[in-house]
Structure formats: C-alpha cells, structure tokens
Amino acid sequence: MVCFCVLFSNAQVKNKYGQDVVRKVEVYMVKQNKPYITIEFNYSNSLSLEEIHFIAPSTGKVVIKRSGDEITRVDYNIDGKIRNDLKYHYKVINNLITSCDIDNIGIDGNVLRYSYLYRYDEGNKLLSADKRVFTRERYEEFSELSDRYREAFLWNVDGVVYTTSERGWQWKIGQKFDYPFLFKERTYNFELENDINIDLFLLYDEIGNFDRLERITEWCGKHPSFLIEKNNGVYFDYTYDNENGGLDLSDDRGKMTQMDVYNCDKRLEKIFKISYWE
C-alpha cells in the first residue's frame, strides 16, 4: 500500500548521483507527538556527507564525522559526557569504509574488539561483511576468539540485494568458506525507486543497536535501486508529497516524506519522517 499527502516545498537538491539529499529523519513510536530518535545529516558544499548526528534523548547522542579518508565517532551519555568505554576505528579506501573496529573497554583495561571487514565489487556494491572478535587483556596483544561470522550480499539484475543475517554463516578459524548461503526473504516494490541518499531500511535495522550507523550512507557503497516492501514479517509503506502521484507509473510521485513500519500482525510500529536539503 502506498499513500499520499499534500505538502509543498521548493525543488529538491540532488547530489552527484542524482539522489535527493536527506537533511533529517525523525523516528516516532505510535501515538507519540515527539520523536524518540532524530538523525541529522550535514554536508559539504559539494553535498558530500560529512557528519551524522544520532540524537536519542533517553539514551544519549552519537556524532560521526568524516574528513577526507578519516572518520571519527564519539558516543555521549545522556548527561552529555563522552563514553570512554567505546572506541571506533575506521579505515577508508577510495571513499568506501573497508573496516571498522569497535573496542569495548572494561574498567580493568581489558578490551573486547568487534572487527568488521567490508568487501565491494567494482561498482561499489557491498558483497560481504566479515565479523571477527578479539580479546586483549591489559598491556597484552589481541587474540582472536574461535568463531567468526559473515554477512553475505547478493545483488540481482534489478539492482536490489538479498542477504544472510550476520550469523547466517559461522565457521572456525582456518575453515574454508565453501557452503551455500540461505538468504532471508526480501520483497521489493519495483514501482518505487530508491532515489534518496540514505538506506531507510538499514536505518530501521540499526535503530535497536546503532553500532554501525555508517552502513546507511554512501560510505558503505550503493543502496538497492528500489524500496523494500517486506522483510522477515516486517512491512513497509511510504508516503509521498504529490497528491496526484502514483495514479500511473509515468506520474511523478514527488519526494518521499514518510516511511511507516508494520509488524507481522500489520500493526503500525514506527514512523520515520524525512526532511530534505532544499
């Protein structure tokens, strides 16, 4: 189901990929009149993404900044103090994040590290995300735990992607990776092109645990060409600002202003309201 509302705004700003540039996303629970999460995006003069501000009044704030090939992330508690028990280390090659190390630091100085390695094809489409886990006691070297996990991505000719879960494959260190994947069921709406510069489905996926917020951006490669309609029993509906849009495939629906998320019982769970640079 696609619904439409009437909103008026100036012509949209497009980035170098021809996508509408998102300025802010507000996330609401049902029957709430204030967002419980706000995500703000800041850009350079050339509309390259430079900063993400993830603001959750009940838990704290995250600020991710990019300058050239350097990306930094700072997490804040609800009282505004920096969290010193979390450290993020990114590596960027050819404008794409190729690795992310997340260090969870104990009060005794011991570290539990989650290390993600990203692999892309020549068209900047993400092919796999390998997760490895390391531990380090204070002043010692890192040692790897026995299990590793891989999330695999399969793109079809329509420019959409199907994927295993993060734990869709598990193997021991040194074991050859040669077993077939069992992919999650994803359904896309091929009437709705994904013409914005962030991946709203991945944003929804990260709301509960926002360790890898960078995944929603072009920093982790291309997004699917169409909008997702269903994934693992969760349903997605979209609202556009052109009241005459959608009556025919040739009509201009305007810009997307809202994504509604329904659970498996078709009950509304979350509302994502989208604002753009103009």
Tokens 């909103």, residue? Answer: 7
* Contact of 171 with 177, CB cutoff 8 Å: yes
Looking at the domain that runs over 2-276, which CATH code has it been given?
Answer: 2.40.160.150
Res 25 pLDDT > 50: yes
How do residues 98-125 score in pLDDT, each as one tens digit?
A: 999 999 999 888 999 999 999 999 999 9
Distance in angstroms (rounded) separating the CA atoms of residues 155 and 121: 10
DSSP symbol at 247: S
Res. 4 pLDDT band, cuts 50 70 90: very low
Q: Poorest-confidence range of 52-66, 178-192, 217-231, 237-251? A: 237-251
pTM for the predicted model, two decimal places: 0.85
Distance in angstroms (rounded) separating the CA atoms of residues 192 and 190: 5
Both tokens assigned to 218: 């072009």
Both tokens assigned to 18: 């021809």
pLDDT at 229: 95
Domain ranges of the chain: 2-276
